[in-house]
Amino acid sequence: MITKDMTIAEIIKINYNIIAILLNAGMHCVGCPSAQGETLEEACMVHGLDVEPILKQINAYLGA
């Protein structure tokens, strides 16, 4: 299960296909070195996004 406190790098290591979900949400800096150290919540804040819908979508994709 993915949490909002996990870094982008940790999330991608769990399943590389999550990148597509992040890109579709408007987080186009997934490959940026600084973004790798941000938590999902921090990355969403930077992009003006609500973390909860993205988190739900990722966990639904993973079947969690």
Confirm whether pTM is higher than 0.95. no
Domains of the chain (ranges, CATH numbers):
8-62 (1.10.3910.10)
pLDDT of 64 over the 90 cut: no
Task: Tell me which residue has tokens 């999902």.
Answer: 40
What's the pLDDT at 29? 76
**If pLDDT is split at 50, 70 and 90, which confidence band does 45 have?**
very high
Q: pLDDT tens-digit profile of 24-42?
A: 999 887 778 877 789 999 9
Q: Could you read off the pLDDT of 9-23 as tens digits, one per residue?
A: 999 999 999 999 999
Exposed (0-12), middle (13-18) or buried (19+): which is 17, by Cβ within 10 Å? exposed
